């Protein structure tokens, strides 16, 4: 069954309903290709667009073909190929050269506006999903929406290039003699190759944007209305500066105006956002904004155009101030980053270098580089910006002097004689190949839009970093092959009495066996104690947290036993004895560390239990020869005594996995209820789901009858089918399938495990012969509730609801083991392990999100909806106060769902106080710069914290997909370092018990508790959108 938005796009344009268009719009508005499109323009695209999916290796069109469609890439990637030997159907594909790859968010094919032949061949590099608009429809969109499309998509005059083509670049051989804009006529060509950095205090734009100019007027008016003494004439060194302010006072004032401004650095960034567009400026044009005794003035006062605001202006601006500060807080972090980058490298402080480094971690062009290289880049990167589209950054054939990374905007890659062959977007890089090969530029780079910003690494710095990396890289070889690659880096700790810098060697890559040997010999002291050594780092922790990826327990345990028994056959007797004893102690001490670092996963593994029994027996025998091992033996026996007996074959009662999981962290301060409720809370406390837990669940058939099964949670889909077939004497060729409430059918793979916890919110398991899958339909109960529980919610305290939601989410969060994240990201089918606890936590996020949408769409009276909207905003505020950021994001994203956000009559009646709260929450969720606002706020919180789980999963996916696990047969341990860093973030969040003060006792505590733990929702977006349109029909 295809997704809803796909089935909507498959309809003819004239047959699409308003609900269809809303469903398509909610999917396309998040696609990168459309992020700059006006909503009215995107609505037209939703009306005329068609869905198209192509397998790998399909040729979309050939060089020389006449264009018939415009495309946008939704998923997958396509290769752009050009041929030097010919065009059209007469040239061979083998002659093609791949120029670039078009990824998600790329749009191409504007040449259909002028009937120009394709200048390249496009072939799918993997399975792709595309949005396609036919030529006649695209021309219609252009004619109707010219004012919105100019500057984004521009028609090409005869003889110009194709594919994301820029209207100023000619496809004729040789460089363009001039750049032509249809609206501006001929302009002298602009060429920039590594320009000198101007004054950091110079505005990036000649005139402020309308948005920032208005923000400046609001802030200036409020200052003059409330604290007019801030703007006055000041004297310094016998010179008078008219109508100016002091930087430190400006920061003080801003921090007093809004709870959004948490730190002085944040306030500096907000003022810098105004300075870099020229809204304010340093009185001598010498300084960026600084929290110091420096003088700044508003643009109006600087030009002499400023005047005292009227009473009406003061009142209006005071009302707009909070919205203005929300906007400035969103763009402030980016302005702060640009401010740091515009400084000369030697002027950047240690803290500023760390800010740049944190930014580089999330740039996709740099994911393959080691963290050490990224830190080196942070110290040499330069900022470069260009205001006008059509600017030539460098020409084909020029000498390469810089490597560029796109920070904002997009550029066209142009080859003489072929036109524009591809477009590069934010996060992409270019220009590195010419530096590596010391060759001329292979193409010209032309700005595709105004106000593009870049990070630039100049050739000398680039080569120095390469030389330093190679000089600090140590490669250990065996039989002529690399087996371990180490990087020399400064140690974290220094010995005060020594004047020289101390270094340590960080593992970059290696074979699993060699990395284990290196770990035992350098990170495990045979004279082990609890104090960290000078060279202590995270290598052991990272190895033990991620070893399941490259060296699972059935390989690691035998390797440890082999190292334990290792002996040297030559040398003095005493050295042989010392060597053997040191090896044994290292293994024993590593086992202790393993148990401490990994926790429950260590004691629950049968492989590890068998290994410990073998090791304990070996140590007992060796104690006769080496009495020094007796203390280690006692510690090992104590460890083994903590491992529970395997009772998987006992008479343990089955567990309903969707209801019972126990928290591994204590919850202090929460059991403050009445004695009866206290005992109930103890009885229903969750415990972690284990693979051996028995699970009772239903499997449905095409006629909606069902069979109840009792299987281990780790049972595979194949075992579920076999058990059902044996129980009911069914035939062969049966498949297990999830049927969602939308009617979509997802066939499960035979190797899929813990299938019940991985279902969608209202999904159900069905079994049927493969040829009868089309007969499976959703159950009536899957549609969800028919009536709102608004009346029940109104009787509950908002704080109590948030508190009970946080208790429940805390239990779920603490049941998740770090290994589950690894299994989920790398594919649990590769490990044969369950991720049930993580599945339930992710499911909870979706449940809360759809709960908000469901209740809003089931409440018919607009007055009641406004009350409910206020209630949800208050619950979100309390969840944020309790540091339950997962529920906070779920609620706010639910209110942002298209079915809720389109209820304009409801939002219009919401009091301004709540509108400002919601705007503040949306700014906290701002996804720009990889959710920088959220990440900055997270860095200031102390545990306990329930983090935004989908973002953590996104981080790990980004790391996994952007970095190979193996390079030339060696484990890429830099990737393991990054994955472990995310795991440490999760550990930090749960490192303290939940100890927030409970709200005042209310009568219906148990009712609230039961309600928030059993939310009933509609998870069908089409149904929710239809309900929304019934509440408030589309305005004509």
Residue 680 lies in a domain: no
- In b/e form, how buried is each residue of 99-108, taking b as 16+ CB within 10 angstroms? bbebbbbbbb
pLDDT at 390: 83
Residues 336 and 369 in one domain: no
Tell me how many domains the chain contains: 6
Mean pLDDT of 171-192: 33
* Residue 85: pLDDT over 70: no
Mean pLDDT of 776-791: 94
Mean pLDDT of 271-290: 91
- 67 Cβ partners below 8 Å, 6+ apart? 61, 109, 111, 112, 115, 116, 117, 118, 135, 162
Mean pLDDT of 375-382: 88
DSSP state of 969: T
pLDDT at 517: 92
Residues 230 and 319 in one domain: yes
Query: Any idea which of 220-224, 256-260, 333-337, 556-560 has the lowest mean pLDDT?
Result: 256-260
Higher pLDDT, 196 or 751: 751
Percent of the chain with pLDDT over 70: 85
Residue 669 lies in a domain: no
Residue 400 lies in a domain: yes
Question: Based on the number of CB atoms within 10 Å of its own CB, is 566 exposed (0-12), middle (13-18) or buried (19 or more)?
Answer: middle
Query: Any idea which of 318-327, 482-491, 606-615, 883-892 has the lowest mean pLDDT?
Result: 482-491
**Alpha helices for 234-362 (secondary structure H):** 247-257, 264-275, 299-303, 311-341, 350-360
Q: Give me 335's structure tokens.
A: 């302005």
pTM of the model: 0.72
pLDDT at 1012: 95
Range among 108-122, 141-155, 627-641 with highest mean pLDDT value: 627-641
Nearest to 371 by CA among 357, 382, 354: 357
Higher pLDDT, 39 or 129: 129
Distance (Å, whole) CA 842 – CA 757:
10
pLDDT at 78: 86
- In b/e form, how buried is each residue of 646-681, taking b as 16+ CB within 10 angstroms? eeeeeeeeebebbeebebbbebeebeebeeeeeeeb
pLDDT at 86: 46
* Residue 164: pLDDT over 50: no
* Residue 178: pLDDT over 60: no
Query: Any idea which of 99-103, 152-156, 573-577, 883-887 has the lowest mean pLDDT?
Result: 152-156
pLDDT at 791: 93
Range among 102-106, 518-522, 1032-1036 with highest mean pLDDT value: 518-522
Residue 190 lies in a domain: no
Query: Any idea which of 292-296, 435-439, 895-899, 963-967 has the lowest mean pLDDT?
Result: 435-439
* Residues 765, 715 contacting (CB under 8 angstroms): no
**In degrees rounded to 5, what are phi and psi of residue 639?**
-65, -45
Please count the CA atoms within 13 angstroms of the CA of 636 that sit on its side-chain side: 25
Residues 64 and 132 in one domain: yes
* Residue 216: pLDDT over 80: yes
* Residue 495: pLDDT over 60: no
Residues 451 and 579 in one domain: no
Residues 797 and 764 in one domain: no
Q: For strand 382-386 and strand 411-415, is the pairing parallel, antiparallel, or unpaired?
A: unpaired
pLDDT at 198: 58
Name the percent of the chain in helix, strand, coil, to the closest 5: 45, 15, 35
* Residue 808: pLDDT over 60: yes
Please count the CA atoms within 13 angstroms of the CA of 995 that sit on its side-chain side: 9
Mean pLDDT of 142-152: 69
Range among 98-107, 178-187, 286-295 with highest mean pLDDT value: 286-295
pLDDT at 351: 83
Residues 103 and 152 in one domain: yes
* Residue 87: pLDDT over 60: no
Residue 959 lies in a domain: yes
Residue 501 lies in a domain: no
pLDDT at 1006: 92
Q: Give me 801's structure tokens.
A: 């609801």
pLDDT digits (tens, 9 = 90+) for 660-701: 333 333 344 443 343 344 344 444 567 888 888 899 999 999
Mean pLDDT of 922-944: 83
* Residue 844: pLDDT over 90: yes
- Bridge partners of 484, per DSSP, are 476, 510
* Residue 154: pLDDT over 60: no
pLDDT at 500: 53
Residues 95 and 45 in one domain: yes
- What does each C-alpha distance from 364 to 38, 424, 644, 958, 961 come to in angstroms? 27, 12, 45, 8, 10
Please count the CA atoms within 13 angstroms of the CA of 164 that sit on its side-chain side: 29
Residues 326 and 362 in one domain: no
CATH code: domain of residue 712: 3.10.20.90
Last residue of a domain, one of 621, 641, 661: 641
Kindly compute the dihedral angle of the four CA atoms of residues 807, 813, 817, 822, in this order, to the nearest 10 degrees: 180
Query: Any idea which of 154-163, 355-364, 572-581, 587-596 has the lowest mean pLDDT?
Result: 154-163
Last residue of a domain, one of 783, 812, 835: 783
CATH code: domain of residue 443: 2.60.120.10
pLDDT at 562: 93
User: pLDDT-derived band of residue 407, with 50, 70 and 90 as boundaries?
Assistant: confident
Residue 608 lies in a domain: yes
Residues 801 and 896 in one domain: yes
Average pLDDT, the chain: 82
Residues 451 and 417 in one domain: yes
CATH code: domain of residue 226: 1.10.10.10
Distance (Å, whole) CA 539 – CA 265:
33
Nearest to 422 by CA among 83, 172, 107, 117: 107
Distance (Å, whole) CA 399 – CA 247:
43
pLDDT at 857: 95
* Residue 433: pLDDT over 60: yes
Mean pLDDT of 908-913: 92
Higher pLDDT, 231 or 730: 231
Match 């999760």 to its residue by tokens: 986
Give the residue numbers spanning the domain of 587.
511-641
Query: Any idea which of 182-191, 571-580, 696-705, 978-987 has the lowest mean pLDDT?
Result: 182-191
pLDDT at 502: 66
Higher pLDDT, 173 or 666: 666
Q: Give me 762's structure tokens.
A: 């209202």
Mean pLDDT of 151-176: 37
Residues 275 and 417 in one domain: no
Residue 25 lies in a domain: yes
pLDDT digits (tens, 9 = 90+) for 732-782: 889 999 999 999 999 998 888 888 999 999 999 999 998 888 899 999 999
Task: Provide the residue count of the chain.
Answer: 1036
Nearest to 503 by CA among 514, 492, 512, 517: 492
Last residue of a domain, one of 433, 467, 501: 467
Query: Any idea which of 189-203, 367-381, 437-451 has the lowest mean pLDDT?
Result: 189-203
User: pLDDT-derived band of residue 466, with 50, 70 and 90 as boundaries?
Assistant: confident
Residues 319 and 360 in one domain: no
């Amino acid at each position: 069954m295809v997704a809803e938005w796909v089935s909507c796009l498959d309809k003819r344009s004239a047959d699409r309903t308003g609900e269809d268009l809303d469903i398509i719009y909610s999917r396309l508005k998040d696609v990168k290709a459309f992020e700059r499109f006006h909503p009215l323009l995107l609505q037209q695209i939703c009306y005329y667009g068609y869905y198209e999916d192509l397998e790998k290796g399909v040729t979309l069109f050939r060089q020389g073909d006449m264009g018939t469609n415009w495309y946008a890439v939704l998923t997958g990637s396509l290769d752009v190929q050009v041929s030097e030997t010919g065009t059209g159907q007469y040239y061979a594909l083998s002659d093609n050269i791949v120029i670039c790859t078009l990824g998600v968010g790329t749009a191409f094919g504007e040449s259909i506006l002028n009937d120009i032949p394709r200048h390249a061949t496009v072939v799918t590099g993997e399975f792709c999903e595309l949005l396609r608009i036919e030529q006649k429809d695209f021309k219609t969109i252009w004619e109707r929406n010219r004012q919105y499309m100019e500057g984004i998509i521009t028609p090409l005059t005869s003889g110009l290039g194709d594919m994301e083509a820029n209207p100023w670049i000619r496809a004729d051989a040789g460089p363009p003699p001039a750049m032509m804009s249809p609206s501006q006529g001929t302009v002298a060509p602009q060429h920039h190759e590594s320009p000198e950095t101007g004054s950091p205090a110079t505005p990036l734009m000649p005139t402020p944007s309308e948005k920032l100019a208005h923000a400046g007027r609001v802030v200036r008016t409020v200052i003059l209305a409330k604290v007019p003494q801030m703007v006055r004439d000041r004297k310094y060194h016998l010179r008078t500066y008219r109508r100016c302010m002091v930087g430190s006072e400006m920061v003080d004032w801003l921090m007093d105006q809004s709870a959004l401004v948490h730190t002085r650095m944040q306030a500096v960034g907000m003022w810098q956002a105004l300075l870099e567009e020229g809204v304010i400026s340093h009185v001598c044009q010498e300084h960026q904004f600084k929290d110091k005794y420096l003088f700044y003035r508003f643009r109006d006062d600087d030009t002499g155009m400023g005047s005292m605001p009227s009473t009406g202006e003061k009142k209006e601006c005071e009302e707009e101030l909070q919205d203005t500060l929300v906007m400035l807080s969103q763009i402030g972090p980016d302005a702060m980053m640009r401010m740091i980058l515009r400084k000369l490298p030697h002027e950047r402080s240690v803290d500023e270098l760390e800010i740049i480094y944190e930014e580089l971690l999330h740039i996709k062009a740099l994911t393959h580089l080691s963290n050490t290289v990224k830190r080196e880049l942070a110290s040499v990167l330069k900022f470069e910006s260009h205001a006008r589209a059509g600017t030539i950054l460098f020409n084909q054939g020029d000498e390469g002097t810089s490597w560029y990374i796109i920070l904002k905007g997009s550029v066209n890659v142009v080859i003489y004689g072929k036109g524009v062959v591809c477009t590069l977007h934010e996060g992409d890089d270019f220009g590195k190949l010419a530096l590596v090969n010391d060759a001329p530029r292979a193409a010209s780079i032309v700005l595709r839009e105004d106000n593009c910003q870049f990070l630039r690494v100049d050739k000398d710095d680039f080569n120095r970093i390469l030389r330093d990396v190679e000089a600090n890289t140590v490669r250990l070889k065996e039989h002529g092959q690399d087996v371990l690659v180490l990087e020399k880096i400064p140690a974290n700790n220094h010995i005060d009495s020594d004047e020289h810098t101390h270094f340590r060697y960080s593992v970059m890559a290696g074979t699993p066996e060699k990395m284990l040997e290196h770990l035992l010999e350098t990170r495990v002291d045979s004279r082990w104690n609890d104090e960290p050594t000078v060279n202590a780092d995270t290598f052991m922790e990272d190895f033990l947290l991620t070893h399941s990826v490259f060296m699972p327990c059935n390989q690691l345990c035998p390797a440890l036993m082999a190292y334990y028994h290792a002996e040297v056959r030559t040398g003095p007797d005493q050295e042989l004895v010392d060597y053997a004893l040191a090896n044994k102690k290292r293994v024993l001490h590593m086992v202790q560390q393993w148990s401490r670092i990994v926790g429950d996963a260590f004691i629950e593994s049968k492989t590890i239990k068998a290994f410990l029994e073998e090791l304990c027996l070996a140590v007992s025998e060796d104690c006769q020869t080496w009495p020094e091992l007796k203390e280690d033996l006692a510690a090992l026996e104590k460890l083994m005594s903590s491992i529970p007996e395997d009772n998987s074959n006992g008479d343990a009662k089955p567990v309903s996995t969707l209801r019972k999981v126990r928290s591994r962290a204590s919850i202090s301060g929460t059991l403050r209820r009445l004695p009866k409720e206290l005992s109930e809370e103890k009885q229903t406390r969750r415990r972690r789901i284990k693979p051996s837990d028995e699970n009772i669940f239903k499997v449905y058939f095409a006629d909606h009858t069902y069979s109840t099964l009792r299987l281990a949670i780790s049972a595979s889909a194949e075992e579920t089918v076999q058990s059902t077939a044996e129980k009911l004497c069914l035939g062969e060729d049966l498949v297990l399938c999830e049927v969602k409430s939308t009617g979509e059918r997802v066939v499960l793979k035979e190797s899929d495990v813990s299938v019940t916890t991985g279902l969608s919110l209202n999904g159900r398991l069905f079994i049927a012969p493969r040829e009868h899958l089309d007969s499976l339909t959703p159950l009536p109960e899957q549609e969800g509730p028919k009536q709102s529980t608004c009346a029940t919610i109104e009787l509950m305290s908002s704080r109590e609801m948030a508190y009970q939601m946080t208790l429940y989410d805390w239990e779920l969060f603490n049941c998740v083991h770090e290994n589950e994240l690894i299994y989920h990201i790398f594919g649990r089918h590769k490990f044969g392990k369950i991720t049930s606890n993580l599945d339930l936590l992710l499911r909870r996020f979706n449940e809360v999100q759809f709960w908000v949408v469901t209740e809003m769409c089931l409440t018919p009276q607009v007055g009641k909806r406004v009350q409910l909207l206020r209630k949800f905003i208050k619950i979100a505020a309390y969840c944020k106060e309790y540091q339950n950021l997962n529920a906070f994001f779920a609620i706010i994203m639910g209110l942002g769902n298209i079915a809720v956000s389109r209820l304009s009559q409801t939002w219009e009646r919401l009091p301004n106080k709540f509108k400002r709260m919601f705007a503040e929450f949306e700014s906290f969720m701002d996804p720009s710069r990889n959710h920088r606002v959220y990440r900055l706020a997270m860095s200031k919180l102390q545990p306990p914290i329930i983090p935004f789980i989908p973002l953590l999963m996104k981080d790990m996916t980004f790391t996994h997909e952007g970095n190979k696990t193996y390079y030339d047969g060696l484990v890429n341990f830099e990737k393991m370092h990054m994955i472990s860093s995310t795991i440490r973030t999760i550990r930090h969040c749960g490192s303290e018990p939940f100890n927030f003060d409970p709200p005042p006792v209310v009568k219906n505590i148990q009712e609230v508790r039961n309600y928030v733990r059993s939310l009933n929702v509609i998870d069908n977006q089409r149904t929710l959108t239809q309900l929304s349109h019934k509440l408030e029909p589309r305005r004509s």
